[in-house]
Amino acid sequence: MAFPNISDIVATTIQNRSRVLADNVTRHNAALAKLSERGNVKTVSGGNVILQELMFAENNNASWYLGYDPLPTAAQDVLSAAEFPYKQLACPIVISGLEQLQNSSKEAFIDLLEGRIAAAEATMMNRLAAGVYADGTGFGGKELTGLNAAVPVSPSTGVYGGIDRAVWSFWRSRVADVNTFATATLPVQATFNLIWAQLVRGVDRPDLILVDNVMWTNYVRELQAQQRFTDPRQASFGFPSIKFMDADVVLDGGIGGFCPAKTAFFLNTKYIFLRPHAQRNMVPLSPNRRAPVNQDAEVQILAWAGNLTCAGAQFQGRVVDTRP
């Protein structure tokens, strides 16, 4: 005979594991790990869209003065917000009535359940890691609004976060092509130098560079005769990294990497945020029993809702390599 309270075991087991799953998700991807370290994983409490506040202009009241000179006090419109839709991700975990009978001891059932939950967790982490690079159009427009939207190949066209890049130049990222320096001795480094100079403003500069296999291989090849510096802190997350200037260059390729081919993203993570909903951050969709009306099975759904947002597109860059 199957032991009682199977539904309770399913629900509580998922609920207990979900408390650490949100942290594990950020450690599954170099960009999300960096956002977590910076404190840029900020939950959303509600609303029909996710608003990301941003500063788009200087305060023109700032001026030099002498003695009793009157100071300007005109109202200044310097703040706005980009709007991002909620994106939802879920993975149902299903246990059939037959499987409950076949694993009728409590210990056997928990082993089966933990295996199913572990598979669901791994799948959701992979989906979010892939979503970091998405442009928001995948899966019928349901996928994350990721880096391919924030830092596109054509940064002067299209609408991102509800703001038209063709109209607002402050909302345009930067792009450089290795092919521009194809005849140079170190073409990748020359391109990296170019994009870096376009993204630095005072102390603001890229702090994370994500590259695919091809870009990684070409960059490392150019560094073979030079000393390379690794970052032990990044290595502790399990991401191989080297340095460009003082930014971490992280390979997000290898087996199952998601970075687009022949691409490097130069990110200033100060202006990038992961915004999960406070009540839907890798949690069971419902603690109650879910059972199909025409099947002998129980279902629990692990769910996430939120989006990747940006408050400073002009500080983000992309290097592509169109060489044959």
- Compute the mean pLDDT over every residue in the chain, rounded to the nearest whole number: 81
Give the whole-angstrom CA distance, residue 131 versus residue 89. Answer: 10
Q: Which residue has the tokens 């056997």?
A: 108
**Mean pLDDT, range 291-301, rounded to an integer:** 76
Instruction: Give the count of beta carbons closer than 10 Å to the beta carbon of residue 76.
Output: 13
| Band of pLDDT at residue 30, cut at 50, 70 and 90 | confident
User: Residue 198: its pLDDT value, please?
Assistant: 96
Per-residue pLDDT tens for 212-224? 999 999 999 888 7
| Band of pLDDT at residue 20, cut at 50, 70 and 90 | low
Give the whole-angstrom CA distance, residue 304 versus residue 98. Answer: 29
**Mean pLDDT, range 30-42, rounded to an integer:** 88
Give the whole-angstrom CA distance, residue 271 versus residue 26. Answer: 17
Q: Higher confidence at residue 129 or residue 54?
A: 129
Per-residue pLDDT tens for 272-285? 999 999 888 888 77
User: Residue 150: its pLDDT value, please?
Assistant: 97
Instruction: Give the count of beta carbons closer than 10 Å to the beta carbon of residue 289.
Output: 13
Could you tell me the sign of the dihedral formed by the alpha carbons of 220, 226, 232, 233, in that order? negative
Q: Higher confidence at residue 302 or residue 233?
A: 302
Give the whole-angstrom CA distance, residue 279 versus residue 160. Answer: 26
Mention every residue, 6+ apart, whose C-beta is less than 8 A from residue 99. Answer: 112
Candidate from 16-30, 84-98, 103-117, 153-167 with smallest mean pLDDT: 16-30
Per-residue pLDDT tens for 235-261? 444 566 788 998 999 998 777 779 999
User: Residue 4: its pLDDT value, please?
Assistant: 41
Give the whole-angstrom CA distance, residue 267 versus residue 40. Answer: 13
Query: Burial code of 249-278, b = ≥16 C-beta within 10 A, e = fewer?
Result: bbbbbeeebbbbebbbbbbbbbbbbbbbbe
User: Residue 32: its pLDDT value, please?
Assistant: 86
Runs of H (alpha helix) within the chain: 6-26, 30-38, 97-102, 106-131, 138-141, 147-150, 187-199, 213-223, 232-236
Give this prediction's pTM: 0.81
User: Residue 110: its pLDDT value, please?
Assistant: 62
User: Residue 171: its pLDDT value, please?
Assistant: 92
Which residues, in sequence order, are bridge partners of residue 171?
Answer: none
Could you tell me the sign of the dihedral formed by the alpha carbons of 148, 167, 269, 207, in that order? positive
Per-residue pLDDT tens for 74-90? 664 544 678 999 999 99
**Over pLDDT 70: what percentage of the chain?**
75
Q: Higher confidence at residue 293 or residue 287?
A: 293
Q: For residue 246, give the DSSP letter.
A: T
Q: At residue 8, does pLDDT exceed 70?
A: no
Per-residue pLDDT tens for 117-158? 778 888 888 898 899 999 999 999 999 999 999 999 999 999
| Band of pLDDT at residue 3, cut at 50, 70 and 90 | very low
Mention every residue, 6+ apart, whose C-beta is less than 8 A from residue 182. Answer: 323
Hey, where are the domains in the chain? 6-55+81-308
User: Residue 69: its pLDDT value, please?
Assistant: 76
SS3 call for 319: strand
User: Residue 1: its pLDDT value, please?
Assistant: 37
Highest average pLDDT, of 189-193, 225-229, 256-260, comes from 189-193
